[in-house]
Structure 1
Amino acid sequence: MMAIDQLLTLQEHSLNETAIPPPMPRNARLRPEERERLIVRGAVSYFSDVGFDGDLRELAKRLGITHSLLFRYFSTKDALIERVYQEVFVSRWNPYWEMIIEDRSVPFRTRLVAFYKDYAKTILDREWIRIFMYAGLKGSNINQRFLKMLRERILVPLCREMRHDMKLPTPQQVPISDFEVELFVGNNSRIVYMAIRKWIYGMDLSIERADDILETTLDMFLTGVRPVLKAHVEASAASMQRSRTQKPV
């Protein structure tokens, strides 16, 4: 397996290769795919400013195009919001996070800190957090879709790797419970609240300071969670054993 720093270097190179080019002059003749990309980027900025109640005519005005041209690319607001979801939450998802979490050649604490520090760089972004909050207030399914992906691809694997580190029963022996997942959700919530303080409350919070806070938070988490997790998994295993022995033959 690659070292964590090698993985992060590769992911940064990959992200740079797919970076969106700077906007072209308004009087330039754009290819349809370039125009669509600029519309999506403008929509991300617009919705992060005003929320999903923002009017598409106002968006078109901000983009310097006609409403009919915007309609040609996105015939409904829902279609545009879907593209915003893909742009903000799917395209910014880093597949190297999952590789870092599962690399058992690296101590679990090192993996945990490396993942969360890099994950925080995505969450501590003005567009990301404001669109996430506006989506929740609007009742959009953006939040549910992202949180489902987060649970399946990050939180459950973290639970599994924590069990392996503590030499507890595997998920095949004792299924991972919602309670276990919630223990890790607290770490994600810490990052989200830092982003809220920075980009919604307007408080000063640098990435460097956030890294220090996050590492300390994770050390506190690891100290407190181990006895709780051990007791919970052992109780679940005992409960499963009693159920098996009490079944009639």
Structure 2
Amino acid sequence: MKSTTRKVATPKRSPTRAAKSTRGASTMPGETAARPVTRRARTAPLDAREGAPGIDEPKGAANSVRGRQAAQSTRRRLPRTERQGLVLAKAAEYFAEHGLSAQTRAIAEACGVSQRLLYSLFPSKAALIEEVYNREIAGIFKAIWFVKLKDRSVPLEQRLIDFYRDYYESLLTRRWLRLFLFSSLAGLRMAPTYTDAIVTHALEIVVTEAAHDAGRDVPSKIDELTEIGWTLHGAISHLAIRRRIYSNDNSLPPEEVIALNVRAFLVAVPSLLPMPEAAG
């Protein structure tokens, strides 16, 4: 008797159900279907200045939230006057290298602060420049120089040499000269203000002491007096410009050049100043 194998018909799945069951599935037999990927919402980019190291932040502080918070706390604790001093120093350095015509945004960036913070420290660019003048131009002059120039217990030649050597080294620096020249090119009043307030007084003392030492009268006209003083003062100023701006190197040390100019001035004084009027 023949055995018969009965075929069991496999029920067909509807195309719709098959599509639903296999939609999105691309696994091989025996694999577990991967979880659907959930995209994280993109956060808005941080402001370029948020958390960026500033004039009073430690390096690397912006690399973490805690670092940013610590830096912000440090910034809040920094006294206003100290922060102003830091900004002024950086602003003066920037002005000396790039001139005084820069926009406040570039100045703030050079100082490592936001434009908003810059304006909170200085209400305007003009106010910032005025403070730079007070600190970096006029503020470097030493009032004690006036006193020492008048001290007749010291020979005049030595007084003048000491004064101009100190003036050359302490005040006529590269940065000071560049600020002074850039301010004039920008049409600002830094140079005239400094000359009227400080240099003219120094020239009066120099010529008055030279006249006394030579037994001569002081010129009655202030313009004549100051021009005589400029023959020495201008020579020292131009020496600094040649050495520190023009990079005109010379084997002769500046202190020796200063001494030469002082001696030449004192030799010329008797021929430049009037003789005392005869009494009666």
The whole-number CA distance in structure 1 between the counterparts of 2:137 and 2:93 is: 14
Structure 1 pair 212/25, CA: closer, same or farther in 2 (3 Å)?
Answer: farther
Q: Does 1:209 find its partner at 2:228?
A: no
What code does the residue aligned with 1:234 have?
M
**Cα RMSD between the aligned structures?**
2.3
Which residue matches 1:65? 113
What code does the residue aligned with 2:203 have?
L
Task: Give the alignment's TM-score, normalised by structure 1.
Answer: 0.76
The alpha-carbon deviation at position 203 of structure 1 amounts to 3.3
Which residue matches 2:239? 194
Which residue of the other structure, out of 127, 133, 140, is the alignment partner of 2:181? Answer: 133
Alignment length (residue pairs): 209
The alpha-carbon deviation at position 153 of structure 1 amounts to 2.5
Q: Tell me the alpha carbon deviations over residues 172-194 of structure 1, each in whole angstroms, 9 at most, x when there is no partner.
A: xx635422321221222222222
More helix by share: 1
List gaps (5 residues or longer) in structure 2: 1-54, 59-70
Which residue of the other structure, out of 99, 107, 112, is the alignment partner of 2:155? Answer: 107
The alpha-carbon deviation at position 204 of structure 1 amounts to 3.4
Is 186-195 or 77-86 further displaced after alignment? 186-195
Q: Which has the higher contact order (CA 8 A, sep 6+)?
A: 1
The whole-number CA distance in structure 2 between the counterparts of 1:139 and 1:192 is: 20
The alpha-carbon deviation at position 91 of structure 1 amounts to 1.6
Which residue matches 1:118? 166
Larger radius of gyration: 2
The whole-number CA distance in structure 2 between the counterparts of 1:89 and 1:124 is: 10
Structure 1 pair 186/168, CA: closer, same or farther in 2 (3 Å)?
Answer: closer
The alpha-carbon deviation at position 77 of structure 1 amounts to 0.8
Task: Give the alignment's TM-score, normalised by structure 2.
Answer: 0.68
Q: Tell me the alpha carbon deviations over residues 47-70 of structure 1, each in whole angstroms, 9 at most, x when there is no partner.
A: 000111122211111222111110
The whole-number CA distance in structure 2 between the counterparts of 1:153 and 1:101 is: 11
The whole-number CA distance in structure 1 between the counterparts of 2:250 and 2:173 is: 12
3-state DSSP class of the match of 2:161?
helix
What code does the residue aligned with 2:265 have?
F
Which residue of the other structure, out of 269, 275, 280, is the alignment partner of 1:225? Answer: 269
